[in-house]
Amino acid sequence: MSLKVTGGIYKGRKIACPKNIARPTQSIMRQSLFNSIQTSILDAFFLDLFSGSGIMGIEAISRGAKYVTFVDKSPLAVKVIKSNLSSLQIQIDHQVISNDAIAVISQLDTPYDFIYLDPPYKIAVEIAPKVLYQLQKRNILKDDGSIFLEMSSNDYREFEIENLKLVKHKKFGSSVLQQYKHSF
């Protein structure tokens, strides 16, 4: 399966998606998210958790992000992400990490402007609050930054995490995109 980048300098370019381990974010959702942050993505630091194909981080790079960290625990997904970055000849500073999201968060100290979480839908309700809690605890979201969480609309929940507030949510077919910001 292949995906197309929806905007920026790599618009229209195809990237690979690992079979049977990734459910790629819909193009309409990607466009909506990046349209909403288009004035802030330039020179931003972007963290792509549960990266799968890496499409969200690649969209961020395509639209001007300065630095992107890709995280996925699947060795196949990491291999595909590296291949996608290589095929696009991406030159900006980036990091691809093969590990569990929570373990990686505990080691990060770079502050990010945008953090994107797209856990597997079957475990999203269980893992999302844990990841949100760790992100808040480690304080790696910049003061004016946003965390975006994608999950199944069938399992939609609003998570209450100290110092984070849900500021927006939007349904896209069978998926929901939530946006969290600092509440201080």
How confident is residue 49, by pLDDT bands cut at 50, 70 and 90?
Answer: very high
Q: For 114-136, how does the pLDDT look when each residue is reduced to its tens digit (9 = 90+)?
A: 999 999 888 888 999 999 999 99
Q: Are 7 and 63 in contact (CB under 8 A)?
A: yes
How confident is residue 22, by pLDDT bands cut at 50, 70 and 90?
Answer: low
DSSP H helices in the chain:
27-36, 55-62, 75-87, 101-105, 121-138
Specify which residues 179 forms β-bridges with. Answer: 148, 168
Q: Are 73 and 98 in contact (CB under 8 A)?
A: yes
The stretch 83-102 carries a mean pLDDT of 94
How confident is residue 40, by pLDDT bands cut at 50, 70 and 90?
Answer: very high
The predicted pLDDT at position 20 comes to 72
Select the more confidently predicted residue: 156 or 68: 68
Pair of tokens at residue 65:
């992000």
Give the closest residue to 38 by CA, choosing from 151, 146, 166. 146
User: What domains appear along the chain, each with residue ranges and CATH number?
Assistant: 2-182 (3.40.50.150)
The predicted pLDDT at position 104 comes to 96
